[in-house]
Structure 1
Amino acid sequence: MAWWLMKSEPDVYGIQHLQAEGTTLWDGIRNYQARNFMRAMQSGDRAFFYHSNVSPPGIVGLMEVIETGLVDPSQFDPTSKYFDPASKPEAPRWDCARLAYRTTFPAMLTLDALREHFTVEDLVVVRRGNRLSILPVADASATRIFRLLGVAPEA
């Protein structure tokens, strides 16, 4: 099982939306490096849900990857802000994954708190200006995140 950190703006799609829906198609990824991280995901992996573009930003919950290798349908929808006219159904550029809600943490683990306890080598999200919406998280860093949150690690 691998660990990931996945960012979303809470007013667009927050942990409360995922909790209400139970599962979601994580689509709209339009960065090749983030897409490649998504392609590396496997069913059963866990992802920290990170609220971005808010004050303060931070980790608010946990998701489970339940399906991977899906074609992102928004790339073919001309009414979608994620429409990609260069992407063709016979050769899609963009993937997505299905994720399931696991839990909302009792408190947010803010970016400032993460910066106090992690280096960029430990957790890439602490790098200033990091814009990637999907990032890998090492096992040791995941364990430390759970410790900082004061909750038992997921298995």
Structure 2
Amino acid sequence: MPYWLMKSEPDELSILDLKRLGRARWDGVRNYQARNFLRSMQVGELFFFYHSSCPQPGIAGIARIASATYPDPTALDPASHYFDAKASAEKNPWSALDVEFVEAFPNVIGLPRLRASTALAELALVQRGSRLSVMPVDAEQWAAVLSLR
């Protein structure tokens, strides 16, 4: 089973928000490669929940894919900052899916600590210039991150 890492700004959706809600929609992905990764996810697959654009960026916990992808409704909502004027109900290039809470880590595993791990040297997250919000994580990388908890 593939593993994933997905980034969210904690003021939009944090791991603790997801814990409180139990399940939430993951939307707003506006990069085609990240969207394609999203579309390849299967119900039941696990991902690291990464807090980005915040004082302490890092992996905050684990969540699970809870639904197949569907058209991202935020692309059609003019009030959303994810609105895409080129999208329509008939032709929406963006996807969303539902996720569910699994675990919040006692402490966020910060980006400097992730970068310092030689076992994670090939993880896209720690590569310079990599800004994808959705990315695959292989089994060895998954285990390496879990060992840092």
TM range (shorter): over 0.9
TM-score by length of 2: 0.94
Write the distance in 2 (CA, Å) between the matches of 1:111 and 1:98.
Answer: 26
- Please say if residues 120 and 144 of structure 2, whose CA atoms lie closer than 8 Å, have aligned partners that are also in contact: no
| SS at structure 1 position matched to 2:66 | strand
Shift of 1:55: 2.7
Q: Give the aligned partner of residue 22 of structure 1.
A: 22
TM-score by length of 1: 0.91
1:82-140 alpha-carbon deviations (Å, 9 max, x no partner) = 11111121121100111000010121111101111146753110012321111110111
- Please say if residues 114 and 120 of structure 2, whose CA atoms lie closer than 8 Å, have aligned partners that are also in contact: no
Q: Give the aligned partner of residue 65 of structure 1.
A: 65
Shift of 1:35: 0.3
Write the distance in 2 (CA, Å) between the matches of 1:22 and 1:71.
Answer: 21
- Please say if residues 118 and 126 of structure 1, whose CA atoms lie closer than 8 Å, have aligned partners that are also in contact: no
Write the distance in 2 (CA, Å) between the matches of 1:8 and 1:148.
Answer: 20
Q: Percent identity?
A: 41
Q: Give the aligned partner of residue 110 of structure 1.
A: 110
Write the distance in 1 (CA, Å) between the matches of 2:111 and 2:134.
Answer: 15
Q: What amino acid does structure 1 have at the position aligned with 2:47?
A: A
Q: Give the aligned partner of residue 132 of structure 1.
A: 132
Write the distance in 2 (CA, Å) between the matches of 1:36 and 1:45.
Answer: 16
Q: What amino acid does structure 2 have at the position aligned with 1:134?
A: V
Number of residue pairs matched by the alignment: 149
Structure 1 ranges of 4+ moved more than 3 A:
118-121
1:40-73 alpha-carbon deviations (Å, 9 max, x no partner) = 1001110100011123211010000010221111
Alignment of 1:6-155 (within 5 A): 6-118=6-118, 122-149=122-149
List runs of 5+ in structure 2 lacking aligned partners: none
Q: What amino acid does structure 2 have at the position aligned with 1:87?
A: A
| SS at structure 2 position matched to 1:11 | coil
- Please say if residues 119 and 126 of structure 1, whose CA atoms lie closer than 8 Å, have aligned partners that are also in contact: no
Q: What amino acid does structure 2 have at the position aligned with 1:114?
A: L
